[in-house]
Structures are given as structure tokens and as C-alpha cells.
């Protein structure tokens, strides 16, 4: 199992190197926005990976509420943290992209705003995990995770409609703009690479969480045997 994971990590690093090369050097320069458009190869795959992480968080939380097993809770924490990390990347690359292109730092466009709300929701999830007292943190967090994920489509639809009422610049060229095939190539490689990075990080964080729980369990067993110190 461990060997497979190490092989996967190596593969991911290779993928990331290749996709970076594709995105920064091979893909053609965009005609209106120039070089800065290359952020697109980081911006969108990050958003996608964050979405995958949050979906994993949703499933893990459901399983936890059903089975109450530590493994699904560990996966829930891991996926939430990695998801927030990628979400942060989206929120940082967005303004970096917007500023040179439109002269403004922020545009309340549907997808960027949805990402912001998602970020807020999952940060509140992480805050809850830190502040919940006692052994029921996992249950409370799992409940919140379900609320959060159910909210996602509603958030997106709401902001989409808001944007059609009050139009503003749209990141990534709008809903239906096609991508030049040469760019598509780089885009898909980056998408794959980022997803793999996301998986690697989730697995690592999951491992860390399970190890921490094992340490706690050892202390607990000691307390049971010899009395509390």
C-alpha cells in the first residue's frame, strides 16, 4: 500500500512538472489578455480540485453520521482542509488575474463569488471543529458539512441569477466561450495534475489524522489500565 502511494506521489510530481511546462511555455498566448491569462491553468483546476475535496467531505460526513467510524471522520477533516487550501488559491489567483485585465481587484462574478462563499462555509466548518467541546465534535461537524454541501448548488444558482440582473466582468471568458484546442491541451493536463496533488495531500492529511487518533487511543488505554495521571 505504501509503495503504491509513493509511486503515485512520484507520478503526481511528474505530472505537475509536465503540466506546468505546458501551461507556462507550450500553450499559446491569449490574444486579448496576454500572458496573465496563463493563471487560468491554475485558477480553474484549483477550483475543480476544491470541489472534488468538498464532495469527498460531504460523502465522508454522511458515512460518519451513519457508521460513526473514525476513518470517515479523518477523511472529512482531511478533505475539508485540502479543499480550503485550494479554494484559497482560487481566491488569490482571481484578483491577480482580474487586476491587470480589468483594472479592478475583485469582480463579483458568479464563479468567483461562489468560491468565496464556499470558502467561508468550509472555514466555518474548520472553526467549528476547533471550538466544539468534548467527544461530539465529529458529529456536529458532520452535520454542518451536510448543510454546507447542500447549500453549494443553491449558492451558485443564486449568484448566477444575481449576475444576470447586475452584470459584471466574468472570469475565464464567460459560460459558453470555447477554448482554443491548443489551450485545452494544457488545461486538461493541469486539471489532472492538480487533482492528483489534491489526492496526495488528502491522503497525507488523512494519515496524519489517523496517527493522531492512534496516539490518543494509546494514552486512553494507559489511563484505563493504570488510572489517570
Partner 1 sequence: MTGPSDLPSPPVIVLENLVKFFGRFAALRGISASFAPGRLYVILGDNGAGKSTLLRIVTGLMQPSQGKVTLLGAGSIREVAHRVGYMAHAPLLYDELSGMENLRYFAGLYGLHDDNVCERAMTMVGLDPELSRRIGQYSQGMRQRLSLARAVLHDPELILLDEPFSNVDVRSAREMAAVLGRVRDKGKTIFVVTHQAALMEGIADEFVHMTAGQIVAREATARKANAQVETPS
Partner 2 sequence: MTTFTMARATLLKDLRLEWRSKDAINSMLFFALLVVVVFSFAFNPTAEESRHIAGGLVWVALLFAAIFALNQTWARELRNQVLDAYRVSPAPPNALFLAKAIGNFLFVVVLEVMMTPLFVVFYSLRSVGPVWQLIVVALLGTWALVVNGTFFAALSIRTRSREIMLPLILFPISIPALLAMVDATTSILTGDASPDFWIKMLAVYDVVFTAVCLLLFETVLNAE
Nearest approach in angstroms of CB 49 to partner 2 is 20
Site for partner 2 in 164-183 (CB under 8 A): 165
Convert 51-72 into a string of H (helix), E (strand) and C (coil): HHHHHHHHHHHHHHHHHCCHHH
Nearest to 120 by CA among 77, 88, 74, 94: 88
The option from partner 1, partner 2, none interacting with 204 (CB < 5 to 8 A, set by class) reads none
Evaluate whether 186 touches 41 at the Cβ level (below 8 Å): yes
Return residues touching partner 1 (CB under 8 A): 134-136, 216, 219-220, 223-224, 227-228
Residue with cell 468560491: 115
The residue among 154 and 220 lying less far from partner 2, judged by its C-beta, is: 154
C-alpha cell at 178: 470555447
Does residue 77 bind partner 2 (CB under 8 A)?
no
Distance CA 41, CA 172 (A): 10
Site for partner 2 in 132-151 (CB under 8 A): 132-134, 136, 139-140, 143-144, 146-148, 150-151
Q: Distance of alpha carbon 24 from its chain centroid, rounded? A: 22
Q: Is 109 left (phi over 0), alpha (psi -120 to 50) or beta?
A: beta
The CB-side HSE value for 49 (13 A sphere, CA atoms) comes to 30
Binding mask 12-51 for partner 2 (x = CB under 8 A): ----------------------------------------
The option from partner 2, partner 1, none interacting with 88 (CB < 5 to 8 A, set by class) reads none
The residue among 180 and 216 lying less far from partner 1, judged by its C-beta, is: 216
Residues at the site binding partner 2, with contacts judged by CB under 8 A: 65, 117, 120-121, 123-124, 127-128, 131-134, 136, 139-140, 143-144, 146-148, 150-151, 154-155, 157-159, 161-162, 165
Amino acid at each position: 500500500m505504501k509503495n503504491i502511494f509513493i509511486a503515485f506521489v512520484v507520478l503526481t510530481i511528474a505530472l505537475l512538472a509536465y503540466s506546468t511546462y505546458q501551461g507556462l511555455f507550450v500553450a499559446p498566448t491569449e490574444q486579448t489578455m496576454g500572458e496573465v491569462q496563463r493563471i487560468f491553468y491554475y485558477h480553474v483546476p484549483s477550483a475543480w480540485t476544491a470541489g472534488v475535496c468538498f464532495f469527498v467531505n460531504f460523502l465522508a460526513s454522511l458515512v460518519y453520521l451513519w457508521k460513526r467510524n473514525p476513518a470517515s471522520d479523518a477523511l472529512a477533516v482531511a478533505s475539508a482542509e485540502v479543499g480550503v487550501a485550494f479554494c484559497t488559491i482560487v481566491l488569490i489567483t482571481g484578483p491577480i488575474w482580474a487586476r491587470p485585465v480589468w483594472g479592478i481587484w475583485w469582480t463579483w462574478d458568479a464563479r468567483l463569488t461562489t468560491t468565496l462563499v464556499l470558502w467561508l462555509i468550509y472555514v466555518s466548518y474548520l472553526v467549528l471543529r476547533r471550538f466544539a467541546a468534548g467527544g461530539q465534535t465529529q458529529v456536529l461537524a458532520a452535520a454542518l458539512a451536510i448543510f454546507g454541501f447542500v447549500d453549494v448548488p443553491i449558492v451558485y444558482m443564486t449568484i448566477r441569477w444575481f449576475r444576470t440582473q447586475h452584470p459584471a466582468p466574468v472570469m475565464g471568458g464567460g459560460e459558453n466561450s470555447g477554448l482554443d484546442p491548443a489551450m485545452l491541451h494544457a488545461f486538461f493536463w493541469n486539471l489532472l495534475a492538480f487533482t492528483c496533488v489534491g489526492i496526495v495531500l488528502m491522503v497525507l492529511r488523512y494519515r496524519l489524522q489517523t496517527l493522531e487518533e492512534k496516539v490518543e487511543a494509546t494514552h486512553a488505554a494507559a489511563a484505563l489500565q493504570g488510572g489517570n495521571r
